[in-house]
Homo-oligomer: A and B are copies of this chain.
Amino acid sequence: MSRPVLLILLLVLSPVAGRAQTNAPSDSSGIARLNDSLVAATRAMDNEATLRLWEDDGISLLPGMAPIMGRKSIGAFMYRVTGTLPGAHVERFDFACHNITVSGDWASEWCTEHQIIHFANGTPSFDGWGKLLFILHRSAGGSWRIRTEMWNQAMPESAGRE
């Protein structure tokens, strides 16, 4: 895969943010916490922290790829991607979520993101924008987890800003 594709995928699998912003109805504080955790894990490029936010049967729908089914497969993919980017770090990640809708133990939200990734080897930074749609599920313990995510490219002017 080309570097931009890898970066996009990296981003998709580990959403981060300048500050997680939610248009939150009353009972969506748990979802705001999930978004904040996604932001923190992505900023830190912490794959294990990101994987803890996924359900066991999570599904990641990334452009130009077959669906990635299950947290185990998502994790394997995530480590393959980050393994190709030694020394990379997240310079900036703005992440804003909208239209959070909760019904019982299921919820959805769509988000916009803007990422700037810095490389150790002198390669120019990657500056990309994307949109995400999430299906979330509340676990038995009460925490919200990602069941399904899809990503596609955004126009710069449509993505969230700090």
Contact = CB atoms under 8 A, between A and B. Distances in A.
Given A133-B135, A152-B150, A103 B104 contact: yes
B110 A108 contact: no
B64 A153 contact: yes
A158 interface: yes
A148 B133 contact: yes
Interface residues of A, number: 29
B61 A110 contact: yes
Interface of A: 59, 61-67, 99, 101, 103-106, 108, 110, 131, 133, 135, 147-148, 150-155, 157-158
Given A63-B152, A135-B135, 5 more contacts: A61-B131, A61-B133, A67-B131, A133-B148, A151-B152
